[in-house]
Amino acid sequence: MFKFPDHAPFSKEQRQSLESLLSATDAAQRAWLSGFLAGMSPAGAAASAVVSAGKLTVLYGTESGNSEALAARAVKDAKKRGFQAVMKNMSEIEPASLAAVGNLLVIVSTWGDGEPPETAVGFYKTLMSEEIALTGLRYSVCALGDTSYEKFCQTGKDIDARLEALGGKRVADRRDCDVDYEDAFSEWLGLALTALAPAGGAIATAAVAEVAAGGVEYGKKNPFPSPLNERVMLNGEGSSKETIHLEFALDGSGLSYEPGDALAVVPVNAPDVVAAVLAAAKLKGDEEIETKVSGRKLLADALREDFDITALSRSVLTKLAEATGSDALKALLADDAKEKLKEYNYGREIVDAISDFAPSGLSADALAGLFRKLPPRLYSIASSPLAHPGEVHLTVAAVRYQSHGRSRKGVCSTYLADLAKPGAEVPIFVQPNKNFRLPADDAAPVIMVGPGTGVAPFRAFVEHRAATGASGKNWLFMGDQKYLFDFLYQLEWQEHLQSGALSRLDVAFSRDQPEKIYVQQKMLEQSAELYAWLEKGAYFYVCGDATRMAADVHEALISIVEKHGGKSREAAEAYVEDLKKSKRYQRDVY
């Protein structure tokens, strides 16, 4: 709801109708309106209306770049409102310095099992453990997360509670955003900035309403329908893996990217998945429903195009409990049943919950009401724009498995593997990732660790360094299940070795011998050389699985520094921490 302060210069009637009118607008419309109104005002009047609203720090903790992009937007909006706003990455600030900032907005995402983003781990640990007096701090937190994870928005929740515990004053409620965060974020930002603005201060508006340049602008809000030029299976016959290489055309999109960036793909749900959900709900799919985005629509079409109809979460189950009144489901959602809920959710999807708790089916509206918006999926880009002008490539592992008697499939990976045929248009946009960048210094050596599809950005890195003629040496560790079938891009690596674009290649294939061999073992086998590279200023990159691999590689790195640097464990950890701080140790893990 939109609410004017009491002192707003309107009659009660004017106020009510304006409030109701504005409540029906979205953030973009309001932004346009504010710019429009500012432009209508006489020059002097507009200028005099701008009152400094004070200093504001927008603090973000980011993994994929979303929080960073939102922080930039917050700064921009805040400046329009007269704040002297600056943005800070959690990786570059000590929690103690928050005592002096006054106004603070925090935008932070949560990863994996409730973890802070990679770059924010240090900040988070210190904040949570040290006693810092933050009286005088006025703040609000926007938490980004994914409701399909048990510890949804945990990092944001923790920071919000901690700032209050340390004496900070929460001026606007924390907002927990799901993967489709646009609207929630805009709403939070408006409320938070209003709350932070000094009482009596007019909302400052810079007369710079954004007008889209000439043609259509493609991006997150308007993904580019990119023709899929090529789709190649990277695993040989005989493999148990299914990794595909995809080449998208960017011509006419205006999209650009750098090695290290991610590409977002907007999938649709597979027909059999839609059919299964409809069957569980005992619906046909020809029912009409009202959708937020595209108005009235056939249920089957909405299930296919608009909704996340698979990821099971407390939020979905809560809505299902409301719709069905199921006692069994309510019991599962009880506060003391968290472990049971976790167990239930493991390996299950929404279709299972509908079958289990709505055995007589659901109405079309009740079914549609369960879902969140179908989120785009991010993939590390596998190409250099210099090596493949007008194209962007991905390396995607199709996820398929069996659980609880049903065959399951990753929504986007199987969309790309099964549904997106070469020649078809796939909606995409670029998601920049400034935390995964080649060294600015072309002469710096680079070590890359990327097993499985983690090798994707390193294909981009090696291509890019070859194209720019970077003199620094490049060393790649990669691996997969089987040498004969799963050596992703083998012929390309051979060419890069031949040309010198790749200096060294070490591979670990886990299922070629009785014992499992992984990349970290290969690192340890080459530990002396690896340490020598680090000492020569090498940048160390890791991409791929976050749960096991990244931790194992991290541990291997510390032990290598310990062994060859003649350091204690603590000193080795500090050495590695320094690598991180100086951006010589970067990770893109998922």
Q: Which residues form the interface with another protein (CB under 8 A)?
A: 232-238, 245, 483-485, 487-494, 497, 505-507, 509, 512-514
Of residues 529 and 577, the one with the C-beta less far from another protein: 529
CB of 498: closest distance to another protein in angstroms?
A: 9
| Paired sense of beta strands 539-544 and 585-589, if any | parallel
Q: Token digits for 427?
A: 């909606």
- For the bound state, the minimum distance from the C-beta of residue 254 to another protein, rounded and expressed in Å, comes to 30
Task: Locate 419 and state its tokens.
Answer: 């549904």
Q: Rank residues 111 and 461 by Cβ distance to another protein and give the closer one.
A: 461
| CB closer to another protein, 109 vs 235 | 235
Kindly state the smallest distance separating residue 513's Cβ from another protein, in Å.
6
Find, among 407, 81, 446, 420, the residue nearest to 266 by Cα: 420
Rounded Cα distance, 384 and 102, in Å = 43
Output the smallest distance, CB 503 to another protein, in A: 12
Least distance to another protein, CB of residue 468, Å: 23
User: Which residue, 238 or 295, has its beta carbon nearer to another protein?
Assistant: 238
> Of 168 and 454, which has the nearer Cβ to another protein?
454
DSSP secondary structure string for all residues of 453-486: GGGHHHHHHHHHHHHHT--S-EEEEEEES-HHHH
For residue 544, the number of C-alpha atoms closer than 13 Å in the C-beta half-sphere is 27
| 394 contacts: CB under 8 Å, gap ≥ 6 | 245, 246, 248, 263, 265, 379, 380, 381, 382, 416, 456
CB closer to another protein out of 111 and 493: 493
User: CB 555 → another protein: shortest distance, Å?
Assistant: 23
Q: Are 268 and 419 in contact (CB under 8 A)?
A: yes
Distance CA 4, CA 11 (A): 11
Which lies closer to another protein via its Cβ, residue 415 or residue 477?
477
Closer Cβ to another protein, 131 or 237, answer by number: 237
Q: How far is the CB of 452 from another protein (least distance, A)?
A: 15
Cβ of residue 267: shortest distance to another protein, in angstroms? 24
What are the residues whose beta carbons fall under 8 Å from the beta carbon of 119, sequence distance 6 or more? 61, 62, 63, 89, 90, 91, 435
| Distance of alpha carbon 71 from alpha carbon 78, whole angstroms | 10
69 Cβ contact list (under 8 Å, min separation 6): 432
Closest approach of another protein to the CB of residue 231, in Å: 11
Beta strands in 270-352 (DSSP E): 288-291, 295-298, 307-308
Eight-class DSSP state of 419: I
The nearer residue to another protein, 375 or 479, going by C-beta atoms, is 479
Q: How many CB atoms sit inside 10 A of residue 194's CB?
A: 14
Q: Look at strands 391-397 and 243-249 and give their pairing.
A: antiparallel
